[in-house]
Chains A and B, each alone.
Chain A
Amino acid sequence: MMYQTLTFYHSIIRWFVLASLLFAIYRACKGYYSKAYFTKADNSIRHWTATIAHIQLVIGIILYSQSPIIKYFWSNFKEAIQDIDILFFGLIHIFLMLTSITIITIGSALSKRKTTDQEKFKTMLIWFSIALLLIFIAIPWPFSPLSNRPYFR
């Protein structure tokens, strides 16, 4: 029951994570190349992109502790590690996602610390783009070679 609710939210919030990242990258790109001012709105987008990622992290971690797949993975480690679908949720997904949230967190904080608007946009653009790439790889898309889950559940 708890587990199903969590997977539902973890799946839905993925779209918010992706949308906020894409929008932040778009604003950063536009701002950087058109030499625009780093506005209050840009700063909120930077902040909220990191916050949405952190919300997703909290749900993900609780989900990890409740999931029967993860329980199976850790109690049958030797066999489970051979199965790419189980290995994906046991290690690959959590490792890549923790890495990308680290990158988003550092990128957001570094961008805030930069003094010129150009540097702020550039920092956001680079760090958020790398994070987006990792997240894209680590989502179990229906077309992913690693593991598959539906777009909505």
Chain B
Amino acid sequence: MIDLFKTKIGRLRILGFLEGISLLVLLLVAVPMKYYFQNPSISKVLGPVHGAIFLLFLFSTLSVGVEQNWKFKTTIWKVILACFIPLGTFYIDKKILSKI
């Protein structure tokens, strides 16, 4: 686990994990709370946090992608698409990032 923090790809994987979790909590907990129970407190806090993690994930992908000369056609578009889709970052972590 500690080793993950030491490399750029490891930090990207951690960000991907956090991005995926925060998106799920937003969709499954915060949004229903806001619209069905009129309680926007979770989405108010988590919304911006998720936004920040999302952007950090994008910039991290850019950084690792440029550094390791990833091909747009084979890798980059998948990683970028993944962070828009629920569970997407978990999928690319297993299929792509864990193998690099």
Contact, CB under 8 Å: B66 / A110: yes
Q: Which 6 A-B pairs have the closest CB atoms?
A: A109-B66, A65-B48, A109-B67, A58-B52, A62-B48, A109-B63
Given contacts A102-B59, A102-B62, A113-B68, 14 further A-B pairs with CB under 8 A are: A54-B59, A57-B52, A57-B55, A57-B56, A58-B55, A58-B56, A62-B48, A64-B48, A65-B47, A65-B48, A105-B62, A106-B62, A108-B63, A109-B65
Main secondary structure of the interface of B (DSSP, over half): helix
Residue A28 at the chain B interface, CB threshold 8 Å: no
Contact, CB under 8 Å: B48 / A113: no
Residue A10 at the chain B interface, CB threshold 8 Å: no
Size range of the chain B interface in the assembly: 10 to 19
For B66, the closest partner residue in chain A by CB is A109
Contact, CB under 8 Å: A105 / B55: no
Contact, CB under 8 Å: B62 / A113: no
Residues of A within 8 A of B69 (CB): 113
Taking the nearest CB of chain A, how far is it from the CB of B76, in angstroms?
13
